[in-house]
Each structure stands twice: as structure tokens, then as C-alpha cells.
Amino acid sequence: MGLLAKIFKKSGPVVLDKCDLSVLGTDVHSHLIPGIDDGVKTLQESIEVIKAFANRGYKKLVTTPHIMSDFYRNTPEIILGGLEQVRKEIKAQGIPIELDAAAEYNIDHEFEAKIDAGKLLTFGGNYILVEMPFMQEPPNLAVCIFKLMTAGLKPVLAHVERYTFWHNDYQKIIEQKDKGVLLQLNINSLTGAYGPGVSKMAKRLIEDDLIDLVGSDCHKIEHMHFIDQARTTPQLHNLIEKKDLLNKML
């Protein structure tokens, strides 16, 4: 190897062998029920993605369709009905993977009423996946988190690294963690799929040991490419080796 090649190797990004995703066991964030949100559109597409997860060593998927008042007005009945359809096809094709469903709840103007109604889809017993709008922190964030916890639920903030309005206010993330909110990171964020700022934040959160769960946020088969790319990063290697990562306990 020439001198320039050695210098480049030392100064360039570290690329490792693909990490073993079977260590995770469970993926906790995806959109794999066909035709009900911005995820997969057909049952055939759903099965194609699920097979890809199984081939990468996953044993269980918790798929989480959007529930948003202005766009995806899904209900537990719609989601669980779609879950059964996909489960039947998984069984028919003999795919060695377990599929459960919860939801990704948007903290919007209707979310408090949903909490009060008490018919929320959770995973792992009492974990509930929530997301914020990407433009700004919702004014009812603190109230909703308090209500969820009072109801005995454990809020999981989806793709915490993607809220750019917190990128220059890191203490806001620390405050959520201190309140008991669990933080979920998207694997694909490590690749730059959502931009360099999100990638930088994702790596920082891992380095600061703030991440409780990791998810794919997979919407389509093309997202598996980014997952494979992320598998070569030292940050994902370090994260999946974390003993108390909650994915391993679901």
C-alpha cells in the first residue's frame, strides 16, 4: 500500500464488517401494514420487506403505522385488522419471524383526547411510540408526556435525532431523558439518509449513551440498502452491543 493510500485510510471514515442484527432480535419502528399510511402499499411489498428483515437476522418486528389527525386517521381496529392479514401471509409462506403491531402517534391537537380515551396501541406491555412534528416542538408535549406516564405508559420518542429544532438546544433532549422519556434512534440516520446534520446528531446521541431503542423506520424495500450501509458504521456496532438496549428484551 502506498503512502497516500495509508494516509487516506487513516483519515477517512471507519468502515467495519456488517454488524450482526440478530443481536437486536426485535425492530420497534416500521410501516409494514399495506395501504394505511406512507409505508408499504401492497401485501406483496410488505412480505418482500419482512423477508428482508428475516434474512438479516431479525426474529420479531413491531410495526408502527402512523396515527395523525390531519393525514392518517388510523384506529386500533384498522391497524390490528391489517396486522392479521399480514400475519396470515407470513404463516402461509413460512417466514421465520414474529410480527406485532403498535402505532406511531403524532403529538398533535387530538392526541390528548386519545390518551384520555385510553385505547392506545402499545408494545412490550406498556411502551408507546410517539413522534413530534418536524417543524417545531408541539406546545402540548409536556402535558402529553405527563398524561402518558400518569396512565402507566412509557413514552418512546421516535427518531429523536431528526428533530432539527433541538439540534442547537441539546439540553431539551437531556430534559426528556431525565423525565423518563425513552429515546429511539433510526438506524438509517447514521448513513446521512436524512442529511448530515441528522447523522451528526445520531452519532452524538450514541456516543453520549442516550439511546434506549433502535428502529429501522422502514417504509419500503429500498430502505434496506441504508440499513446495510449503517451496519458498517462503528456507531451501530457500539449501539447494538449495549447490554441494556431495550430491543433485546422485547
Alpha-carbon distance of 248 to 246, in angstroms, equals 5
Q: At what angle do helices 76-93 and 43-55 cross, to 10 degrees?
A: 60
First-to-last CA distance in the chain?
46
- Run of H or E including 63: strand 60-63
Question: What's the burial of 53, exposed, middle or buried (CB within 10 Å: 0-12/13-18/19+)?
Answer: buried
Which strands sit side by side in the sheet containing 60-63, from one edge to the other?
A: 26-27, 60-63, 98-101
Q: Which CATH architecture has domain 19-244?
A: Alpha-Beta Barrel (3.20)
Exposed (0-12), middle (13-18) or buried (19+): which is 111, by Cβ within 10 Å?
buried
In terms of Cα–Cα distance, which of 167, 156, 175, 170 is closest to 215?
A: 156
Contact 106, 74 (CB under 8 A): no
**In whole angstroms, what separates CA 200 from the centre of its chain?**
17
Contact 62, 28 (CB under 8 A): yes
Which runs of consecutive H residues, i.e. helices, occur in 75-231?
Answer: 76-93, 111-117, 141-150, 170-179, 196-207, 223-230
Q: Using alpha carbons only, give the angle 222, 227, 230 rounded to the nearest 5 degrees.
A: 135
Distance from C-alpha of 124 to C-alpha of 94, rounded to nearest angstrom? 24
pTM: 0.93
Type of residue numbered 249: M
Low-confidence residues of the chain, pLDDT below 50?
A: 1-10
DSSP 99-144: EEE--EEE-STTHHHHHHHT----BTTTEEEEE--SSS--TTHHHH
